[in-house]
Structure 1
Amino acid sequence: MEKSRKKFTDTIDKAVAAANRMQRDELLFNYKGILYPVTFCSPEVFRAMESFEARSDDIILAGYPKSGTNWVGQILSDLVAIFEKKMKNKESSVNEEELEEFPYFEIGDTGKYERMNKLPSPRLMVTHLLPENLPTSVFKNKAKILLLIRNPKDLATSFYHFSNVMSPLPSYETWDDFFTAFMTKKMPWGCYFEYLSAWNKYADDENVMVLTYEELKENPAQGVKNIADFFGICLNEKELQSVVERSSFQAMKKNSQKTHGAFGNVLFRKGVVSDWKNLFSEDQNEKMDKAFEEHIGGTKLGTKLKYEVYCKS
């Protein structure tokens, strides 16, 4: 089920190399009030993205950075491969590498979306974007979206460690510095609480499935089965077990160089729940608890995250 990852690794490697030649204050740009990394995104690409024509059988994974999108992306890639094998869509003379596109909506060149419009179904896409910044055709044409969310304390902890080893993102001298930036809306792809609030408006949409990082960790087999059912992909027990095993943290870390290039060295750190307890001070706990309640307390996504279980000492 291994697919070509050359476009993925090449894009990451170029972004890292470019960022290594830049100053910290040059790494991000502002587009419509949200910060993005300049070596991955551009205003020109965002404008070109508006022309993308979504299909009802597209498979879209939406999640804020460090919510587990690489993990669930592996699961979805395997599920698509199983579907294609069963539908015998793989009998093609076209070089798979030529069809490959970097899976994130907002990362690429301006010609990416015209090329994607020619790709066969089902197309798998990933995004960190707010729903209002996605192409309008995604909702108009009722593409199916798997919305992945994670408890904000672990997400912030993971983002902190990731930022300090990923050169396209600003690094931070201390956890306190990062926490201040995280809580004052100075993060790439915007504020996580505003992200959750924006996506909560779509939580009851029949074409949106909400999944938490924590529930998938607790029961990977059931999680994979639920994802497959949502996208209409039938799995037998052997196929289910294979997807679960290949998407385990240990297996993905072992294969990270092959699947993610230089990015693999920094992407897979711990993959655990409650790592936030190693960093958060009492004051920081209180500030995040308050922000959570103000933005999504009592909402469907807020309830789904089980904040009392995962974010209270």
Structure 2
Amino acid sequence: MVELKVPDFMKDSHAIFSNVVEYEGICFPAVARPHILKQLKTFEVREDDLILATYPKCGTHWMMEVIFLMQHDGHVDKIPRNVNPALHGGLSFGVPPDMKRSVMESLATQPSPRFYITHLPSQLLPPQVWTKKPKVVYVTRNPKDACNSLFRFANANPMNKEPIPWEKIYQNFMSKRAVFGNWFDHTLAYWEHRNDENVCFVTFEEMKKDIRSVIRRLEKFLGVTVTDDGLERIVEHCSLEGMKKTYAKVEAASPDGVHYTRAFGQIPFLQKGVSGGWKALFTDEQRDAVDKMVKERLAGTGLDAIYN
């Protein structure tokens, strides 16, 4: 059995916002220890690495499942479901319970090709990402929906002593002290790399609208082959209901399964997976504030046409 005990300082989701680590002007949750963040500068990247980069709550596990399914032509039962800290901890995190050993140290011992996930802003990625040019898939999402999903995720933690108020999460999300950086800074920095040959920029919304087209675009980018039958299998198994069935099987198959499907074995990675869910929480004033920021920050980028 894999021991992934929850570190004491992360047992309550309030710690996501109150117990932060600051590094080069960016706030990180406490699972990203200072000595680990310093390792980013010297992490040895490989040319055949595949990196999934996302802003938190923008479709990370959805895209991860799509990629796994593509690598196996949609045969969901062929996907290995081992608890890999590089997939379920993030490149900037430590490995529980004491967080002294980094995910990067774990990755260094893994054979190629490696697949790992990160919420790092582009300027803090290991420098070799931009020299060795491994493939990077980046996913972003409507900022209002990302904020709404963060609220649901943080409050789904059964270890919370009390609920986290919506206003607190909204204010943090909109500030420069948002964990992993502000959504606008994070998304725009990756957007600048959208035409790099090793970067594929995808939005949550286009995945919702036409997942088949996204899969075919990724097929070319990743250099994998997806048959017509495989495409239909992927569409079926990467739907929210399909993923819920898969994750339920993973949890039932092993006591370690919850560490694959839930953060620290407690908080479900899968939420509602919808666009527009923000409307249930945002006040008119909050909506207008985000829309104003979208208009100002995304003007002329091409992203403004998606999120205005």
| TM-score normalised by length of structure 2 | 0.81
Query: CA RMSD, aligned part only?
Result: 3.0
Specify whether residues 302 and 263 from structure 1 end up closer, same or farther in structure 2 by C-alpha distance, changes over 3 A only: farther
CA distance in 2 between partners of 1:125 and 1:201 (Å): 22
Paired position in structure 2 for 1:227: 218
Specify whether residues 176 and 260 from structure 1 end up closer, same or farther in structure 2 by C-alpha distance, changes over 3 A only: same
Specify whether residues 117 and 176 from structure 1 end up closer, same or farther in structure 2 by C-alpha distance, changes over 3 A only: closer
Query: Percent same amino acid at aligned positions?
Result: 28
Q: Does the 8 Å contact 2:47/2:134 carry over to 1?
A: yes
Q: Does the 8 Å contact 1:102/1:108 carry over to 2?
A: no
Paired position in structure 1 for 2:307: 307
CA distance in 2 between partners of 1:96 and 1:245 (Å): 18
Matched, 1:153 2:144: yes
CA distance in 2 between partners of 1:142 and 1:29 (Å): 28
- Which of 50-59 and 172-181 deviates more? 172-181
CA distance in 1 between partners of 2:162 and 2:234 (Å): 34
Q: Does the 8 Å contact 1:60/1:143 carry over to 2?
A: yes
Give, in angstroms, the shift of residue 172 of structure 1: 6.0
Q: Does the 8 Å contact 1:62/1:145 carry over to 2?
A: yes
Paired position in structure 2 for 1:255: 246
Query: What's the secondary structure of 1:240's corresponding residue?
Result: helix
Aligned residue pairs, count? 285
Give, in angstroms, the shift of residue 136 of structure 1: 0.4
Q: Equivalences for 1:60-75 in 2 at 5 Å?
A: 60-75=51-66
CA distance in 2 between partners of 1:168 and 1:114 (Å): 29
1:68-92 deviations in whole A, cap 9, x for unaligned? 0111011112333459xxxxxx9xx
Query: What's the secondary structure of 2:6's corresponding residue?
Result: helix
Q: Equivalences for 1:56-205 in 2 at 5 Å?
A: 56-81=47-72, 100-103=84-87, 104-109=90-95, 110=101, 112-166=103-157, 173-205=164-196
Q: Does the 8 Å contact 1:37/1:169 carry over to 2?
A: no
| TM-score normalised by length of structure 1 | 0.80
Give, in angstroms, the shift of residue 27 of structure 1: 2.7
CA distance in 2 between partners of 1:221 and 1:290 (Å): 32
**Which residue type is aligned with residue 274 of structure 2?**
V
Q: Does the 8 Å contact 1:28/1:36 carry over to 2?
A: yes
- Which of 242-251 and 293-302 deviates more? 293-302
**Which residue type is aligned with residue 274 of structure 1?**
G
**Which residue type is aligned with residue 46 of structure 2?**
R
Q: Does the 8 Å contact 1:53/1:137 carry over to 2?
A: yes
CA distance in 2 between partners of 1:56 and 1:229 (Å): 17
